[in-house]
Amino acid sequence: MSPLTITARDAATGPVLEITGDLDYTTAPELRQALDRLTLVAGQLLVLDLAGLEFCDSSGITALLVARNLATEQSGGMALAAVPDNTARILHIAGLDRVFTLHPDTPTATKPSSTAR
């Protein structure tokens, strides 16, 4: 098990959370706490950079959905960047690849011309 690390930074399009380690039943509350500390201005894009994500279970997927709901409630958008293959597969099987906007990397996701759902 790898500890979860969440690093927040700002991009031109809005906040970016870099998530590394395991996002699971025991660590998902940490992501929710990080989201509670975020301020998303209407029209901004919240990007979750998953390049360092090693493992994600159903609780982690639920936390990603919570992030999307938070962004929507604050009139913003949300995108996932650099989704690892194993997590992308789960998103596809669950049909969530049609719910989340997916980008190959964070620079692509944070281009001002990127659109979010």
Among 76, 26, 80, smallest CA distance to 55 is for 26
Output the CA–CA distances (angstroms, integers) from residue 8 to 89, 95, 106, in the order listed: 26, 28, 13
At 2, list the tokens: 């790898």
Site of tokens 């901004």:
44
pLDDT per position as a tens digit, 15-41: 999 999 999 999 999 999 999 999 899
| Average pLDDT estimate for 35-59 | 95
SS3 category, 86: helix
**Right CATH number for 5-109 from 3.30.750.24, 3.40.630.30, 3.40.50.300, 3.40.50.740?**
3.30.750.24
**Which sequence spans correspond to the domains of the chain?**
5-109
Does this model's pTM top 0.85? My answer is: yes
